[in-house]
Structure formats: structure tokens, C-alpha cells
A and B are shown apart, each in its own frame.
Chain A
Amino acid sequence: MVRSLFNILSGRNTRQGLWGLPLLVALFISLWLTVETTQFATAENLFNLVAQAMPLIIAAIGQLVVVLIGGLDLSVGSVISFTTAVLALDQPAVVLIPAVFVLAALIGLINGLAITRFNVHPIIATLSTQYIVLGITRILRPVSGGTVPEIVIDAVSGSFLGVPYPVFWGIVVILAAWKLLYGSRYGLHLFAIGGGIASGAESAARNFGVSDRRNIILAYVVCSCFAAVAGVFLAGRIVSGDPNVGLLFELDTVTAVALGGTQLSGSIGSLHGTVIGALVMALLANGMNLANVSPFVQTAIKGGILLAVVGLQSRKKMGL
């Protein structure tokens, strides 16, 4: 009992990574905010917090899938902006919503193919698609504007039995991701491929009959699709298309994933850790807003957190 508690807090001997510590940090921040401010511990602010955290939680889960196979997707932010821009195209929702996911899957497919078939480094491949998608987004919608379909707005802003819809979005997305990572053969394969890549034996999974190429491509497709879900959610919140809404989102997702104890070298990590990591980020943003911290300083602080949590991870590989 004591030993397993120690393992959770230290992240030793575990495939789930260090996720107990960020949970403590989250509890500590919440406690501090409850004591310091009167606005924090109200149902309204907490539901608001969930709604604010939701896009990051969704996109970070997508990022987690890619990080587990030792990759990184820097096109997440662009895909989110792109999704809101497409949704504001003034077409019926029946066309737009499927179109958004087809396009996102296509972007993921391009990433995956470039990485597996053409041997491009994940960072370079996703960096270039980030620029291409951002360019297309700016052509579709140079400045924010337009309106998204009614159904998207309703799906985000309503409430059921006093519980706002964003809470249900969270439950559905987390359950789906849980099934994908822990309840399917695909999830097991992800951990296997990542384990091989993390220990420098890239062909280890292939030698055991796991098709690494196909699974890696699929991971990037899944990541883009999660980003698209986050984009749909954000579009419903801001009601219009915005080419800059996803700016720096890729870094926020990486920070949330790393904060949740997931090793960026692959295979070690957990879904609950990532959700906690994203919640810590949202709590910090909420707390800094309540404390009137300048948005520029908030960006700098986020960068500092990213540097700190990634700096604490140990890995063998040097460089990229």
C-alpha cells in the first residue's frame, strides 16, 4: 500500500508515468483559490472552468496518442483554427461537420505518411503541415467572423438537469479515449511501438507482428481528429470562425501531456495523467485571471512550466 502510493508519487516502476504529483498540485491550487478568493468555489465558476479546460483536455488527449509512439504533433493548433474557419463557412451543418472531420483526418494522414513512408522527422513534418494549414485557414478567413451552425452552438451552451453540456462532452471524450487506449488492441499496440522507439529498438514491435507504419499513421489521424473535436467545441463557444484561436495550442497540449507525467520519448504515460495535466493548466489560467496577471506574463509562465516539467524528465537521447 505504502509502496504503491510511493510509486504513484515518484513515477518509478510505472508505465503510467508520474501523475500523482500533478494531481496534488491541482488539489493544492484549488484549495488555495478556494481560500484566497470567494469567486472560485462556486458551481458557476467550476462549470465555467470545465468549459474553459475542455478544448485543451480534448486536444491534449489527441497529443497523448502521438506522444505515446514517441512522436509529436505541432499541427494541433492550426487544425483547431482551421476547424473553426471551416465551420463558419455558411453551409448547412450536415455538410460542414463531416467535412471538418474528413479534412482533419486528411491532415493527419499527410503527417503520418510523410513520417512513415518518406522518413521525415515528426517535428519537421507536423511543423510544415502547421504552416500549410494556417495558410489555408487565413485564406478562408483572414480575420475572425462568420457564424457557425446553430446546432454546434446549442451543443456547447445548453444544459441538462442543471449540468452544462461541456461536462457531458468531457465524459464522452474521456470514455472514448479510455476505450481506445486501454480497451482495444490498437491501444496496446501504441504502447508496444512507443516502447520500442523509446528504447532505441525501432523495429521491436514489428518483429512481434505489430504493423508499426499503419498504427503510427493512424495515431496522427486520431490526433488530428481529436483536435477537430476541440475545434468544434471552441467554435461553439466563440460562435464564429477565428484564424488565431488555436495559436500556441500545440505547445499547451504538449505542456499538459508532459505535466501529466507522460514521457515525451514514448510509451510511458496515461490518460488520467493527461486529463489532470490539462486541468492544472486550466486551474492556473483561472487563478491567474482571478489574480489579474497580464496575459503576456501568463504566456511566459506557461513557457516556464513547460521548460520545468520537461526538464525534470530523464531520457537517454540527446537533441531533438
Chain B
Amino acid sequence: MAAVLANPIARRLLRIPPSYFVFLVLLATLWIARPNMLNLNIMGIFVRQIVPLGILVLGQLVVMRVKSIDLSGGGIILLINYFISSGTFPGASMPFFVVLALATGLVIGLFNGFMIGSRRVSAVIVTLAVSIILVGLVQFLSSGNPPGDVPKLFNDLYNTKFLSVPTPVLFWVLLTASVWLLLSRTVFGRYVASVGENAEAAHFSGVPVQRTVILAHTLAGLIAAIAALVQTGSIAVGSVRVGLDLPILAVAATILGGVVFGRGDGGVWGPFFGALCFALLFVVMTVLGIDEPGKLIAQGVIILGAAIFYGVRVRNP
């Protein structure tokens, strides 16, 4: 196997994020199984459903590039959904909710960043603990029952289209492009790349490692809040279960997109296609009649497969 991996063509192929291959394979599968589903309208609906995940992936990829992880997205989404749907703030307008959501995400992200960057606590433990605290709190406040309705404007906005492309999808692409600019064109982006590559070397070169990690987590919290707003718009009601599996899917999509702890070969568009893969995967699984347990297994296999793909490559540079 080592000989195959040493081959220059194989090495060139291994540089391409797995998400592109998986995307093509899934597209081909769908084309063979249900060719009539491949039109812009139907695909638009499927891709629109995946937008909250796609946005969450953007935050995940930033923290994963600084060798960290954020699993608190589920808790943030649930909390913001609760704020909007529970009627805790009667008669509040949409801008108020947007500001409230962003502030919530910012505070939780900052807390994560402080614990991970300053206190040096394991990121998995911090973000998982934050998530279960938030989930427990929301379930307690709503006593296990789904809260009320979401202001109608959220869903109306979610359902709009611009030049026959659903607005949420357009928003997602724009957001992805801005994160791409942030990582490739700004000083912060360079810091992120250097911290991920080698935190110690970055420290001795004068990179503010701790501040970069804290900032990355704050950004992830903020992006999770945006994902929460889109998710709330998409389901249009309050829920005590919404978005709980999103963080782990976001990790899967990010790894699939070629961004593994500290290594950012996939850039921003690799994970973007990683999220698209999950949109197609759910369609293909529904078409083939595979239900919930099968989806769990597929998620696990995809994460493990993508991680092994990268592990093998790192071992044979």
C-alpha cells in the first residue's frame, strides 16, 4: 500500500478533498436511481434544507483549523429557537431577535474560547458540557414540551426566492465567500493557518496564539447563532429537539471537505461541498428507503472513512 501511496498521481489525487468525489458519486447514484429529480426546483428545496448545517460548518471549519472543535452548536440553536418561539419576549420585533441571537452566540462562543484558549480545557469536553447544560436548561424551561410559534416573518423570509434560487441558499453562498475571504485575505486568516500548522512555532514567531483560538471560537458561536436563525425560519415553530445532531454532522462535513485538525487543505469550498454531500446523501437514502438507523451508520462510516483517508495521507507525506 505504501508503494501505491508514494506514486505521484496517487498523491496528487489524495490532495483533493474527499467531498468532491463523494458529491460526484452521490450525484451519479441519484441520476441513475431518479433522473427526474435532478432539476433546479427540487434540488433547490433539498439544498435549502441543508443551509443551517452549511452555515454551522463554516464555524466548525474555523475552529478545526486551529486544532479545536465546537460541539456546542446544538445547544445554541436550541436556546435561540426557544428565545424566539417561547414568548419570553412578547411583541418583540425581528431585528430584536436577530440582535439577541447574535449576542447569545457571541457570549457562548466567547465563553468556549476563554475556557479552551485561556484555561486550556479540552475543547470536546467544554463544548459538549456547554451543549448539555443549554439543552437541559431549555428542556427544563419548556418542561419537555415544544414552546409556541415563531413570528411569521422568519418563515416568510426563508421561503423567498431570488432569480429562482432560494434566498437561504444564496445567503449561505455569500457567507461562505466571506469566510473564505476572511481566511485567505486577512491577518486573522494567516494567524489561524499558522496556529493550526504548529502552535508552538506560531507562538515563537509572535502570533498571538491564545487570542486567535479565542477569536476563532467566538466567531464559531456567532456563526452558530446565524445558523440558529435560519433553522428557526425553516421549521417555523418552537422545538425541544431541533438541531441536536447538527454539530456532529458539521464535524463530518468539515472532515469530508478536507479540513482536519490543524490542516486546511480543503479550504472553505471543500467543507461547502461536504455539506452539499449530506443534502444529497439524505435524498439518496430517502429514495433508497433507508431510515434513521441507516443514516446514523452512514454518518459514522463517513466520518471514520474521511478521517482514515487523511490519517493515511499524513502518515505518508
Query: Could you list which residues of chain A lie within 8 angstroms of chain B, going by C-beta atoms?
Result: 72, 114, 118-121, 123-125, 127-139, 142, 248, 251, 254, 258, 264, 294, 296-304, 306-307, 310-311, 313-320
Contact = CB atoms under 8 A, between A and B. Distances in A.
Nearest to B309: A118
Nearest to A137: B293
20 contacts: A72-B124, A114-B307, A118-B311, A125-B307, A135-B294, A135-B295, A135-B297, A138-B296, A264-B125, A294-B140, A296-B144, A297-B137, A299-B136, A307-B126, A318-B120, A318-B213, A319-B67, A319-B261, A320-B67, A320-B123
Contacts of A297: 136-137, 140
B173 interface: no
Given A120-B304, A318-B213, A303 B121 contact: no
B121 A299 contact: no
Given A307-B121, A314-B120, 4 more contacts: A114-B304, A128-B300, A251-B132, A310-B125
B314 A119 contact: yes
Nearest to B115: A311
Contact of B129 (A124, A128, A306): A306
A146 to B, nearest CB: 16
B268 interface: no
A296 B140 contact: yes
Contact of A248 (B120, B132, B213, B296): B132
Contacts of A318: 67-68, 116-117, 120, 199, 209-210, 213
A223 to B, nearest CB: 16
A136 to B, nearest CB: 7
Interface string B201-219: 0000000011001000000
Contacts of A304: 129, 133
Given A131-B296, A135-B293, A300 B136 contact: yes
A249 to B, nearest CB: 12
> Closest 6 A-B residue pairs measured CB to CB?
A300-B136, A119-B311, A131-B300, A135-B296, A135-B297, A132-B300
B301 interface: yes
Contact of B139 (A121, A251, A296): A296
Contacts of B293: 134-139, 142
Given A118-B312, A303-B133, A304-B129, A311 B124 contact: no
A73 to B, nearest CB: 12
Which one of B122, B210, B299 has the greatest number of beta carbons of chain A within 10 Å?
B122
Contacts, number: 166
Contact of B299 (A72, A125, A131): A131
B284 interface: no
Contact of A120 (B66, B117, B209, B308): B308
B69 interface: yes
Nearest to A315: B120
A128 B69 CA distance: 15
B248 interface: yes
Contacts of B295: 135
B185 interface: no
B128 interface: yes
Contacts of A251: 128-129, 132
A119 to B, nearest CB: 3
Contacts of A125: 304, 307
Contact of B297 (A131, A311, A313, A314): A131
Contacts of B124: 72, 123, 320
A294 B136 CA distance: 10
A258 B133 CA distance: 18
B132 A121 contact: no
Nearest to A299: B136
B315 interface: yes
B300 A319 contact: no
Nearest to A318: B120
Contacts of B139: 296, 299
B226 interface: no
A129 B120 contact: no
